[in-house]
Amino acid sequence: MNELDRKSWQLVERYMAAYFILFKRLNAQIDEVIQDDATLDQYQIIAYIATHENGTSTELAEAFSVGKSSITAIITRLVDRGIVERTRDVQDRRVVYLSLTERGRTIFSKMQGSIMDMLSSYMVHFTKEEIEGFIRPFEKLAKLVEEGNLGT
């Protein structure tokens, strides 16, 4: 292993160590602040629907890289709780659109506020430039992963 490879490997190890600490603990903290309203998986579905109004279960399954049956189970629970509503397409009854109910928008807003409050307690330790310097490459990595770009 040459020096560049060793340094690259060390960077990957640092990334993985930080990733596990950050996301394991942050997800637990997010779960804690939203626990009265939804599970973390449900919150993520609600957030997606809030920003992709009239999406479908198929779109959700693709966005979250899970089977449609998993999405359907979560959506059914959210429909039963009055958070999400299903609407059939007028032209093609096989197509079912998902949207938040008024109650769903209220719950989403509350959860979003709680999460923002929790995250901002960490963000105050960084300058705006540091935050931008972190988010830009993080978004680039997310885009590469989303596109399946393995650098080959």
CATH classification of the domain holding 74: 1.10.10.10
Q: Is 92 in a helix, a strand, or coil?
A: coil
Q: Where are the beta strands (DSSP E) in the chain?
A: 84-88, 96-100
Question: What is the total count of domains within the chain?
Answer: 1
Residue 57 domain-assigned? yes
Could you read off the pLDDT tens digit of each residue along the chain, which spans 152 residues? 566 687 788 888 998 999 999 889 988 999 898 888 888 899 999 999 999 988 999 999 999 989 999 999 999 999 999 999 999 989 988 899 999 999 999 999 999 999 999 999 999 999 999 999 999 998 998 889 888 876 65
Residue 152 domain-assigned? no
DSSP-derived secondary structure letter, 55: B
Residue 65 domain-assigned? yes
Residue 133 domain-assigned? yes
Which residues, at least 6 apart from 84, have a Cβ–Cβ distance to it below 8 Å? Answer: 45, 46, 49, 75, 78, 98, 99, 100, 101, 104
Element (H, E) at 15: helix 3-34
- The whole domain housing 101 covers 3-147
Bridge partners, 85 (sequence order): 99
